[in-house]
Amino acid sequence: MYTSLLLLTVSGVFLPTSLNEPVWFHDYTLAQSKGWSSDKPLAVFIGAGKDGWHKLSREGAFDARINKLLRDHYICVYLDRNNGAADYAKAFGMQAGLVLSNRGGRYMAYRHAGTLSNAELAEQLSRYADGDKILYSNGVTRSAREERVSYQPRYQYHSGSC
C-alpha cells in the first residue's frame, strides 16, 4: 500500500482526502496527457500553499456541487507557485486564479484571475464542462463546432489546349 501511495505522490497526483473531492494533479504535462486520453477539459487552479485551490473560493472551501462538477467533468490541476509552478503562473499571467480548457487542454475556454464565490465558480464549471468551447484573444468564447472551415476548391488539371 505504501508503495502505491509513494508512486502516486511521485507521479504528480494528489489523492483526494475524501470520496467527494476530485483527484488533483500537480504535474501540468501529466494532467494534459490525462485530459487527452479521457477527453475531458482541464481545470487549472493557480495558487500558493497546501490545498491552495480552496483559497480561490471566497468561502474558503468548495461546496459539494463544485467538487462533483470537478470530479465528474474535469481533469483537475493545482499549480502551487511556491512549489515549482512559478513559471506556469507567469505563463498564465496570474498569481492566483482559474483556467478552464477545452477537451484535452489544448485551448483555453475560460480564464479568471483572483477569487470567485462558490456560486460563480459552479456557474463557470457548469458552462464549460462539455469541453467544447474556445476562448479567443478578443475575449469571445465560441463552441469548437461553430468554427468555420473553408476549403479551397480542388485544383483541376486540364490536359491539352484551353
Is residue 161 included in any domain, yes or no? no
pLDDT band at 139 (very low <50, low <70, confident <90, very high): low
Is residue 154 predicted with pLDDT exceeding 60?
Answer: no
Is residue 42 included in any domain, yes or no? yes
Q: Which of 117, 107, 103, 88 is nearest to 27 (CA)?
A: 88
Q: Domain holding 130: CATH number? A: 3.40.30.10
pLDDT band at 130 (very low <50, low <70, confident <90, very high): confident
Is residue 154 included in any domain, yes or no? no
pLDDT of 1 reads 44
Is residue 7 included in any domain, yes or no? no
Domain encompassing residue 128: 13-146
How large is the average pLDDT for residues 17-41? 87
DSSP three-state, residue 65: helix
Domain count, the chain: 1
Q: Look at phi and psi of residue 112 and say left if phi exceeds 0, alpha if psi is from -120 to 50, else beta.
A: beta
The per-residue pLDDT for range 4-23, each reduced to its tens digit, is 333 344 445 544 455 688 99
Q: Which residues pair with 130 in a beta bridge?
A: none
Is residue 157 included in any domain, yes or no? no
Residue 134 parent element (H or E)? strand 133-135
